Structure 1
């Protein structure tokens, strides 16, 4: 099958560990601060317009949303809650954080993490928190510096070099990084290759 990611389809949304699908196969998680462009990135990677809902309201994703790569029952993309500045009660944020932390600690099917960052505001606290879940467990992580079209080639290249240096200093070689633009379809094939590799496709 030449383009398996294009066959991604919604499977379920989990608000508690009991609602997660069986812990088998391969999963790649996607994280990003509110409005970093995570939904747009997911849609671009899967060549679909409405797989992940693009919301003008920050923090809409309030569960772990699983997209199954048909026809494989055990291959999933997982959209994590983007609670960078979501206007939600503190107890709910605490629930998400505990749920996501437990997911990273115990989930055997999880093979990699994609962290989506707005290229104009990279490596914020939330981004480092997500990388901090993955790296100690030895999970590979890949950073998408989204909205690269906003800066142009020179500006985005400078940010890429700076972020790459910072990531190497803090996390060694466990985290890779690239520029990305869902709008300009920039870096899509590179990101698809990373994700498809982790999914064993």
Structure 2
């Protein structure tokens, strides 16, 4: 019997060993206090976002198989920087966005984070996809929905993790997944979604598959374009060569 952790939209569940191995090569790159100080907007990056208590750091550490890559804190809302990690090289990046929505964070700081997050989601050209984490026991709070609408406005694909799925029994987890899907549909939001448990390391393969698809998607498009151009050049050269042969044949007949 399949587990609920494999219940991901088929078009994005293209997990392969290479994707997982690549992501486990993740290394810390740099931190930026504001959007304007982010690294150059080139290559491809996938951002992780969620409320401060949604288990974002735990998810990143479990995915990359590194205990302290993304530092988790007992005080939610402590992470105030946009953290960048390279995956193999600096043209493939994982981005840990500041947590949001925690009551203990001063209101002015919340407003600053909101401005930065919106600017990043709307303006970052290299952003290939957003992984949004939400606690399965309290899914899709107000600011989660706000993030999803920003992503929709920017035509940015989103994959949702219902985190801490180990806190619920199998049947309750499936119901939460089904109900969240219905809610997304009602809101007009087209996102893929899965159950996830960093504690039990369940759902990692599906998440890695989605990310691998995002990282490679634009490159595949470029390769197809280059292939089309190459074929076009070959066709043009072939036509030219055929015309030359025809002309030479005609000239030989005239001589004879």
TM-score band, normalised by the shorter chain? over 0.9
**Secondary structure of residue in 2 paired with 1:49:** coil
**Secondary structure of residue in 1 paired with 2:93:** strand
Distance change in 2, residues 1:88/1:150 (3 Å):
closer
Are 1:52 and 2:70 an aligned pair? Answer: yes
- Listed as ranges, the matches of 1:53-72 within 5 Å are 53-70=71-88, 72=89
Are 1:23 and 2:41 an aligned pair? Answer: yes
- Listed as ranges, the matches of 1:80-95 within 5 Å are 80-85=97-102, 87-95=104-112
TM-score (norm 2): 0.74
Q: Distance in 2 between matches of 1:17 and 1:118?
A: 26
Cross-structure match for 2:9: none
Are 1:40 and 2:58 an aligned pair? Answer: yes
Q: Distance in 2 between matches of 1:143 and 1:171?
A: 15
Which one of 114, 117, 120 corresponds to residue 134 of structure 2? 117
Q: CA RMSD for the aligned pairs?
A: 1.5
TM-score (norm 1): 0.94
Q: Distance in 1 between matches of 2:103 and 2:73?
A: 12
Q: Which has the higher helix share?
A: 2
Structure 2 segments unaligned to the other structure (5+ residues): 1-16, 218-256
Cross-structure match for 2:173: 156
Q: Distance in 2 between matches of 1:115 and 1:147?
A: 13
Q: Distance in 2 between matches of 1:46 and 1:186?
A: 13
Are 1:175 and 2:201 an aligned pair? Answer: no
Give the number of equivalent residue pairs.
Answer: 199
**Secondary structure of residue in 1 paired with 2:31:** strand
Superposition deviation, residue 4 in structure 1: 0.4
Cross-structure match for 2:32: 14
Distance change in 2, residues 1:97/1:146 (3 Å):
same
Superposition deviation, residue 79 in structure 1: 0.8
Cross-structure match for 1:185: 201
Q: Distance in 2 between matches of 1:136 and 1:18?
A: 21
CA deviation digits over 1:2-35, x for unaligned, max 9?
A: 3100011111111123310000111111111111
Q: Distance in 2 between matches of 1:18 and 1:31?
A: 19
Q: Which has the higher strand share?
A: 1
- Which of 1 and 2 has greater Rg? 2
Does the CA-based 8 Å contact 1:29-1:79 persist in structure 2?
Answer: yes
Cross-structure match for 1:194: 210
CA deviation digits over 1:68-123, x for unaligned, max 9?
A: 112x2111111111121153332222221111111111110001111101100001
